Each structure stands twice: as structure tokens, then as C-alpha cells.
Structure 1
Amino acid sequence: MFPTAIDMPEDVVWRRDIYREIDLNKDANAGLYYPVEPIDKQLNLFTFVFKLALNGYIPVYEYRLDGSEVFSDAAKVKIKTVLDNYHIFYEEKDGKLRVDNSDIPSAEVKLYYLKESAYYDQANSTFHRKVLAFCPVMMREDDFGGEASKYPLFWVKYSDVEPFLTRQTVMTSNLNNAATMTMADFFTLTKYEGKIYKTNNMLGRTLAQYCTTDSAMAKEQRKIEGELTSFEKNIFGDQAKKDSLDSIANLDPKAAAKARKVSRRSGSKSETEKTTKVRRRSSSPRSSGGSSAARVTVRRQRH
């Protein structure tokens, strides 16, 4: 699989759209959560995207009840509507909105819904995974202190925000704090991890709608991941069979033992044939002894 930062061609011969839930509590994704509040110029993903939307650099789109995304002008959401709907404090002066860093609900955004596309590009015979969009999800407790509920805020089209993500870095290691990469590289190299909760299908169903138990859900997620891996590995057909004895030994010990046994038998057979030929050749001079000159014996007589 080759990571790609280029646009996906429209005429690909194979493609599958996947929706994942990116949990920022996992180590692989924690770099998107840190720091919760800005430290100098270092911002986490939500704060960075929130400021871009607040200042009008990128549009944001509504999160529909069915969880789907539509990137049309009609689906655009005003950032002021988001602030009002989720009770985010702001000030408005001279037609401009201002939100203090301490009022940005960055600490509550602990999940992202992410849409990616796995596809085969026949133009250069390569398999790619490309992020298409993501949605920050706020985890907020109710007034009675119950279990936190999920509040998907808005969809962001990845191609809109990608040029800005090259300017912001993310920490990639807990052991080495100097290990960083840009947020754009983080998504391009698919460093994130997330469980599949939906695929594009003709019925528009999520996994939860037809997987009634947790075990069924986990099984379906493994199945989909396996299908993606299988397609990537078998794009060009099965790997050529290995014919050397060493390769056979590595793949199947029984086959290797059988091959060695056959080899020994053929070797002993050839040695027997050689011995027989040598014996036949050595016996041929003896058979021609009858044609040699006769011996003459002279007897002496005493006088």
C-alpha cells in the first residue's frame, strides 16, 4: 500500500469507502489530542480546525442524523450556529466572532469520525488509502452527571483543510518528545487507528444496525479489515510458487522430507546403473579371448 496526498482519480476500477471511529485515548491517536490548550503555536487538531473555521478559512458541513456527509453549499453550517447549538461562549465585535482559548471545548473532543477510501489506481498499478473527511465528536455529560453522550459537531472536507495541516506538527512518541511530523503526514501515512463503524453500502446501514452483539460487531470489523488486506495482497494474483528444496522446507516440512527421500532414491538408482555399465564394459575383453593366437609347447628329449 502506498500513502498518497494527491486527489483520488474519478475513474478507479475498485474502491471501498470506510468510516472509522478514532479514539483519542489510544496511544496511536493521542497526538491529535495534545495539547488540550494551546502552548505557544502548538495546537491540537480540534483547536486548529476550530480556529480555521472561526476565521473563515475553511467551511464546515452539517452532521446529518443518518451520519452521512454532504459537501454542498446547502449543507454548509455557519460557525455561529455551531457556537449557539453547543453553548460555546463567544464575543461578537464589528461583525467578527472571538472565542477565548479557554472556551474552546477542546478537552471534550475525544473522538473523531473519519471517512477514508481504499482504492486501486490502475494508472500506476498501486493500492492507496486516502482520508476524505472527518468529524470532531464532543463527549459531554448531561446536567445530572450521567454517562457522557456523543455530540458530532460538523464534517470537515479533508481536501479543504489539508493545505493548512502541513503547518502544524503532532507528537508521535511518548518516549521521544522530539519525534514529530506534520498533521498532513500523520493522515497521509495513516498513522491513526480506528474501529470501523460503517461502510458505504446500498442499504446505507451501519454495522450496529445489523450486528446485534459486541462479538458480532468485532467479527464483522475483522472481516472487513481482512477483505481490504486480501485485496491489496492479491491485486496481481497469488505469489509464484517456490520450487527449491530450501523454500519447500520453509513452507512445508513434510513436503521437504518427501522431496529429500525422492532425491535419495533417484541418486541410488543412478549409482546402480553406473556400476552395471562399468561391469559390462570390463567383461567384454574376456569374451574375445578365443580369437587370440594359440600357444605352442616344446618338449625336450634326452639323448
Structure 2
Amino acid sequence: MKAITVSLLLTGLFIGIFSASQAQILDSPRDGIYDKIHVSEKKPIPYTPVREADVAWKKRIWRTLDLRQKINHPFYYPTTPKKEWKNFMTVIMDAIREGSITAYDPTKDDQFLVPLTYQEIEKKFTSIDTVPVYDPQNPQHVLRYDVITEDFDASSVERINIKEDWFFDRQRSVMDVRILGICPIQNVYDENDNFLGIQEMFWIYFPEARPVLAQAVVFNRHNGAERRTYDEIFWKRMFGSYVYKEENVYDRTIQDYASGMDALLEAERVKNDLFEFEHSLWEF
């Protein structure tokens, strides 16, 4: 009887010590001076409802965000997730894997027609390489070939395409813009890391992605206490971009009819046309 009692006491003591040690591991110190709960509870700012009858003028524009530009660095860094910090591409891929965002096939235009699963995206953009394993006793003899799968590298996405509609709402008497879709552009390399070109990965419907982007923290280089999100960055137009297409009867991009300096000037013309149209609506 004494042996059973001692055994039970030792077991209880061991469980208590183990539970305490586990609590110490799980309850890590707070990395900061306050609990960060603001961003996790954020929701996207709702759009003002727009009726077809209220839109007096509209133009569709396609833009490219070059993430190598300094103003766009918050979209690109960190290349490796660090606690609450994730770059834009990591946030998107995680949301697609969880089913929070739907990806659409870019080969079927940018009209969000054919959905893609995460498995299809992973299969297409995950690199697979075959590496020979040589015999140590006979370096000329190959024992076997090992298949190495490299996970998707978020840093390979250095550009983002955006489709947006600019319109004049005569009900509110304002010039407004709504982003409709976002398409990541991946760099393509060969087996020797030589740059081959770029390719569209998929399109996502921006209004569907806003709840996810509204809870993804973006680094603020000016004030660490102001927690901006990707949704706010897009809402406030805090990014640099250039126009690569405006809607036209030929459905052409600027590169289809202009190149070099002419293409840059044409992109600036499209931006200036938007500015001049808004400016001409008012008299001072």
C-alpha cells in the first residue's frame, strides 16, 4: 500500500513539474511594452455604395508596382516571415492555402473566370530538380538520382500588376478609384540561375482579399506605433507604380505600340489625362 501511495505522489509531483515547465515555455515574455491587439481586430473600410446611374464617367487602368522601388519595399520585405511581419506574397499564398482568397487562372484573361486550387499553384510554381548521388568509391558511377523539391520563394515576385477603375461619381461629386484585381509577377530562371523572363502567377479579386489584407501588418518606417496594413496601403495609394495599359478599342498594352522612352511618355500621358480630367471638372 505504501508503495502505491509513494508511486502516486511521485507521479503527481512529476506531472506538476512538467506542467509548470510547459507553461514557462508557452508563456513567453511579451515582446513590447503593450499587447498588440489593434491590427488583429481590424476590418476593411467599407466602400461607399455606387449605383450605375451615379457613374458619369469611367476608365479602366492597369498598373505595375515594381517592388524594387524604395516606396514599395514594405510589399517585398521581409523575404522570410518574422512573427507578425510577412511580405505581401507570403500573406497571399497563406490565404490561398487556407481558402480565404480565391486565385484565378491568368491565361484566361483577367476577368476572374477559372479558379485555381492551391495544389495547382504549388505544382506550377514549385521547382523540382534531380540531383545525382555518386559512389564514394567510384566517383564516375552514379548510385541513384534524388529528387529535390524547392518550396515557392516569395522573393521571386518583384512586380505586382493591378487592375483598377477610375470613375466620377456625380452623386458625391468626387473622382474615385476602385482596385478590382491584383496579379503577382514572378521572375523565371533556368537551372543555372540565368534570368529568362517574367510570368503571371494568378489574379485575385481585390474586394475578396481585403479582409485578409486588413489584418496583415506592414512595416512603417516613420512610426512603429502606427500599425498600417496592406489594405490601408492600397486605400491610401501609398505605393509607386506606372501604367502599362488603358482600356482601348484594340485591347493593346502600351508595349504593343511603344517602346523605350516612348512607352514611358505614353504611361505619363495616361496619368496626366486622369489628372486633367479631374481638374477640368471644377472652376476656381
TM-score, length-normalised on structure 2?
A: 0.71
Structure-2 residue corresponding to 1:286 = none
CA drift of 1:46 comes to 0.8
2:275 alignment partner, one of 229, 239, 264: 229
Letter in 2 for 1:42: W
- CA offsets 1:21-60 (integer angstroms, 9 cap, x no match): 1000111111011111111122111111111111111111
CA drift of 1:219 comes to 1.4
Aligned length: 218
Structure-2 residue corresponding to 1:69 = 110
Structure-1 residue corresponding to 2:52 = 10
**Is the Cα contact below 8 Å between 2:158 and 2:187 reproduced in 1?**
yes
Structure-2 residue corresponding to 1:193 = 240
**Is the Cα contact below 8 Å between 1:4 and 1:128 reproduced in 2?**
no
Structure-1 residue corresponding to 2:125 = 86
**Is the Cα contact below 8 Å between 2:100 and 2:212 reproduced in 1?**
no
Q: Secondary structure at the match of 2:181?
A: strand
CA drift of 1:7 comes to 5.5
Q: Which runs of 5+ in 2 are unaligned?
A: 1-44, 129-149
**Is the Cα contact below 8 Å between 1:171 and 1:178 reproduced in 2?**
no
CA drift of 1:147 comes to 2.5
Q: Which runs of 5+ in 1 are unaligned?
A: 90-101, 240-303
Distance in 2, matches of 1:228 and 1:172, equals: 29
Percent identity between the aligned chains? 22
Q: CA RMSD in A?
A: 2.1
After the TM superposition, which residues 3-152 of structure 1 pair with which residues of structure 2 at under 5 Å, given as runs? 5-6=47-48, 8-11=50-53, 12-64=55-107, 68-72=109-113, 75-87=114-126, 103-152=151-200
Compared CA separation, residues 45 and 218, structure 1 to 2 (3 A): same
**Is the Cα contact below 8 Å between 2:125 and 2:152 reproduced in 1?**
no
- CA offsets 1:79-98 (integer angstroms, 9 cap, x no match): 21111112258xxxxxxxxx
Structure-1 residue corresponding to 2:32 = none
Distance in 1, matches of 2:93 and 2:50, equals: 26
- CA offsets 1:146-177 (integer angstroms, 9 cap, x no match): 2242121000000110011111121232x555
Q: Secondary structure at the match of 2:107?
A: coil
Question: Which deviates more from structure 2 when the two are superposed, residues 8-17 or residues 40-49?
Answer: 8-17
Structure-1 residue corresponding to 2:29 = none
Question: Which deviates more from structure 2 when the two are superposed, residues 177-186 or residues 215-224?
Answer: 177-186
**Is the Cα contact below 8 Å between 2:187 and 2:195 reproduced in 1?**
no
Letter in 2 for 1:117: D
**Is the Cα contact below 8 Å between 1:16 and 1:117 reproduced in 2?**
yes
Distance in 2, matches of 1:59 and 1:169, equals: 21
**Is the Cα contact below 8 Å between 2:74 and 2:219 reproduced in 1?**
yes
Distance in 1, matches of 2:100 and 2:72, equals: 25
**Is the Cα contact below 8 Å between 2:84 and 2:217 reproduced in 1?**
no
TM-score, length-normalised on structure 1?
A: 0.67
After the TM superposition, which residues 154-233 of structure 1 pair with which residues of structure 2 at under 5 Å, given as runs? 154-173=202-221, 176-211=223-258, 213-233=259-279
Compared CA separation, residues 221 and 210, structure 1 to 2 (3 A): same
For the pair shown, the structure with the greater C-alpha radius of gyration is: 1
Question: Which deviates more from structure 2 when the two are superposed, residues 11-20 or residues 139-148?
Answer: 139-148
- CA offsets 1:65-110 (integer angstroms, 9 cap, x no match): 7xx31223xx111221111112258xxxxxxxxxxxx934211111
